[in-house]
Chains A and B, each alone.
Chain A
């Protein structure tokens, strides 16, 4: 029956503890070993328990069914024998399935005065002199202490343990070594138990650090319930057309990247400008009351048109909320198109390097201007459609940009709208219209809206959305901006 010796050591100066397990067969042949460093654990009793657990893991990997574990810590052994959980929780419970024995430590050399309370017993193995065995163990512990600490929390993840095992085993032997098998299978019981251990330990550690959200286990994580309630209270940015809002689920969502593509002249820029105006609708009138960042790569941002759309938006607000106008709340004042124009931060860029620079700068800008709720880029692929000598660079740059934009939208809780052009692609023997730079770009957005012509009417088609079905609807571009398509039959109520 193979035997695993375990021991633990503490270094109070660097606040680390180590546990080691060493396995030999009945004949004294070396079978495998393992050592772990725990940063932050300095309690010897806990470390001894962890050492026993480590022995279990080693036994798993060496596929040993019957074995002995030898430890020199009486407390742990008595806990295991009695089946009591002690203060170490599930650790000793795992070790209940095999025989345990004590082992003498030998007369000398306490590395740590705290271990003095261990009882010493007679050595079990006649083959090796105890001093040699001890030297091996100590060597393990020293080696373990010198390894870089993989562990950040109080309990090691299983993978770090395996790494350590490989490092520890080969460099060591006076004995002919048979390396531990390289495969690391674990059975389900250990997995679940380990997860429970980790969860409890991390929660405990976070409590000590004083985490702000007691309901979260890891710092920075959110649980799904919080996310759901946040999502439901999220406001949407109206597009000006109630049909279009309908297929988008209320409007453009914050914290998401929406791509809008279409042929020239179908109204992409108009929609972009409309969104830049609509985001500024005050909260009293059902809007977000935020500002807009408009990054213009093509020169389609005509200020007079923006003024016209702002006037149209204000006139619709006045029509829909006539009594608010007379209330004359002191802070708000009258809505003026000039105010809407000033609420747009307009960047004009002329090359793709400038585009990269602006998007990099946005992080700092958005940190300073917290009231920005939408970032519109018109159009995002124009400067990338030139001949690039290095296509891989282009793909890298584009994916870098899209990742940055996604991160910005989540961090600052704003909507990112990317306007894209279309191109013809030769697929299946015919030319089809697809969005420009499609293959390298198409997965970068959360939602995709395609604008197209149906006869003489403009239509919008929701092509990609995480939560909404595909749908299409007509819309119109009027002098006031983007509005519902005029249907001769029914009289529509204009809802902003």
Chain B
């Protein structure tokens, strides 16, 4: 991004925004809409964990090991979006190729076969690819085509951010710096999209093993080892909410117990909820009676 001259440039976002003078907003007027604009997870227990669902105008990260349910959750969200109060179609940016089309088909309820019409899938191969795609998405969202069958896109899912950065980057300090510069750029773009069009943005992330114990909320126990979300502290600064999906093999021999934990969120206390992955989706369960 080339830094411009002293005068602020007209941004590339939707043209209806007045560039002459910044205008303050009154949070009281935003209260009602922010309470309504939540993407429910489809399960009342998980919704209670999130105080209603995933918030709009905010970037939520779902971090977990492989096969912990991240992609499943994203697919579920994509199918829930048209039926939720948001009433939107979703944009699924897939970097973990191939896209799990079969699973999506299985998840779609038989009663609404046309739900798949509202899921748009795009493949992303690299960070620069993602940035150009986001610019195109921005343009597309600012100029919606009005058609009875096309719902506005208000949900953006990115699966996953870590695999975008697997290649191309060594561990040298210069590359790390370049990588974290890209994090902030991507995050700023996502947040701008989220704010301007009141979108729910969900990003999934993988985990890495942690050797020495980190304090606080960055690490969790999963599958018997200490893990921490990938991409480090820089990326952690880029997301608003982080959900941690962990699993542990139960002591009673064999049964896997999965937990969704709120690692940090500006509006949620740190809570955990147990869930299961079933054929028809991800659902929370009440804590087992001891």
Residue picked from A299, A301, A350, A454, most chain B C-beta under 10 Å: A299
B237 touching A382, Cβ below 8 Å: yes
Give the most central of B8, B55, B185, B217: most A CB within 10 Å. B8
**Known interface pairs A346-B24, A422-B233; A351-B188 also in contact (CB < 8 Å):** yes
**Complex contacts, A479 vs chain B, CB 8 Å:** 269
**Known contacts A269-B266, A303-B31, A341-B27: does B4 contact A350 (CB below 8 Å)?**
no
- Mask, A358-385, CB within 8 Å of B = 1, is 1001000100000000000000001101
Question: For the complex, is B136 an interface residue (Cβ under 8 Å from A)?
Answer: no
**Chain B residue with minimal CB distance to A424?**
B233
Can you give 25 contacting A-B residue pairs, CB < 8 Å? A263-B233, A264-B233, A265-B236, A299-B59, A300-B266, A301-B27, A302-B55, A303-B34, A307-B31, A346-B26, A350-B195, A351-B192, A353-B11, A357-B8, A383-B184, A383-B188, A385-B237, A386-B185, A386-B188, A387-B182, A393-B3, A433-B233, A453-B216, A453-B217, A455-B215
Q: A302-B58, A344-B26, A423-B233 are in contact. List 5 more A-B contacts (CB 8 A).
A: A266-B216, A299-B191, A303-B27, A341-B27, A385-B234
B35 contacts the other chain (CB 8 A): yes
Tell me the bound Cα distance from A382 to B24 in angstroms.
20
Is A349's beta carbon under 8 Å from chain B? yes
Of B92-100, B159-167, B173-181, which binds chain A? Answer: B173-181
By a CB distance below 8 angstroms, the chain B residues around A293 are 24
Given A382-B184, A393-B3, answer yes or no on A342-B22 (Cβ-Cβ < 8 Å): no
Q: Is the CB of B215 within 8 A of A453?
A: yes
Flag if A299 contacts B194 (CB, 8 Å). Answer: yes
10 closest residue pairs by CB, A with B: A265-B264, A453-B216, A387-B181, A302-B267, A345-B24, A353-B8, A305-B267, A350-B192, A341-B28, A385-B184
Q: What does the 1/0 interface line of A45-56 toward B look like (CB < 8 Å)? A: 000000000000
* B215 / chain A contacts, CB cutoff of 8 Å: 453-456
Judge if B13 is at the interface, Cβ distance under 8 Å: yes
A81 close to chain B: CB less than 8 A: no
Chain A positions near chain B (C-beta within 8 angstroms): 263-266, 269-270, 293, 298-308, 338, 341-342, 344-351, 353-354, 356-358, 361, 365, 382-383, 385-390, 393-394, 397, 421-424, 426, 433, 436, 453-456, 479
- Shortest A335–chain B CB gap in Å is 14
B120–chain A nearest beta-carbon distance, Å: 23
B51 within 8 A of A: yes
Closest to A433 in B: B233
Q: A269-B266, A299-B57, A385-B184 are in contact. Are A263 and B192 (CB under 8 A)?
A: no
Indicate if B48 sits at the interface (CB-CB under 8 A).
no
Q: Which residues of A contact B181 (CB under 8 A)?
A: 385-387
**What chain A residues lie within 8 Å of B30 (beta carbons)?**
303, 346
Q: Are A354 and B11 in contact (CB under 8 A)?
A: yes
Residues of A within 8 A of B236 (CB): 263-265
Q: Do B22 and A344 touch (CB < 8 A)?
A: no
Q: Is the CB of A299 within 8 A of B216?
A: no
Q: Decide if the interface of chain B is mainly helix, strand, loop or mixed.
A: mixed
How far in angstroms is the closest Cβ of chain A from B136?
Answer: 18
B31, A361: Cβ atoms under 8 Å?
no
Question: Are A302 and B266 interface neighbours, CB within 8 A?
Answer: yes
Q: In the assembly, what is the distance between CA of A265 and CA of B217, in Å?
A: 7
- Which residues of the partner chain B approach A456 to less than 8 Å between Cβ atoms? 215-216
B288 at the interface (CB under 8 A from A): no
Inter-chain contact B188/A387, CB cutoff 8 Å: no
Measured between C-beta atoms, what is the minimum distance from B142 to chain A in Å? 14
Closest-CB distance, A254 to chain B (whole angstroms):
21
Q: Mark B16-45, 1 if CB is under 8 A from A, else 0.
A: 000001101111101100110000000000
Contacts of B196 in A (CB 8 A): 350
Contact assessment for B2 and A350 in the assembled complex, using a CB-CB cutoff below 8 Å? no
For residue A397, which residues in chain B have a CB less than 8 angstroms away from its CB?
3
Shortest CB–CB separation between residue B112 and chain A, in angstroms?
Answer: 30
Contact residue among B51, B194, B216 (Cβ-Cβ distance under 8 Å from A263): B216
Roughly how many angstroms separate A293 CA and B11 CA in the complex, as a whole number? 23
Instruction: Output the least CB separation between B192 and chain A (Å).
Output: 4
Identify the closest chain B residue to A387 (Cβ): B181
CB < 8 Å neighbour of A354 from B8, B28, B182, B237: B8
Contact B22 A354 (CB under 8 A): yes
Residues of B within 8 A of A342 (CB): 26-28
For the complex, is B1 an interface residue (Cβ under 8 Å from A)?
yes
A356 to B19, CA, bound (A): 12
Per the 8 Å Cβ criterion, residues 210-239 of B in contact with A are: 215-218, 232-234, 236-237, 239
Known: A265-B217, A353-B9. A347 touches B24 (CB 8 A): yes
Taking the complex as formed, is B242 at the interface, i.e. its CB lies under 8 A from any CB of chain A? yes
Q: Do the beta carbons of A304 and B31 come within 8 Å of each other?
A: yes
Interfacial chain B residues near A353, Cβ < 8 Å: 4, 8-9, 11
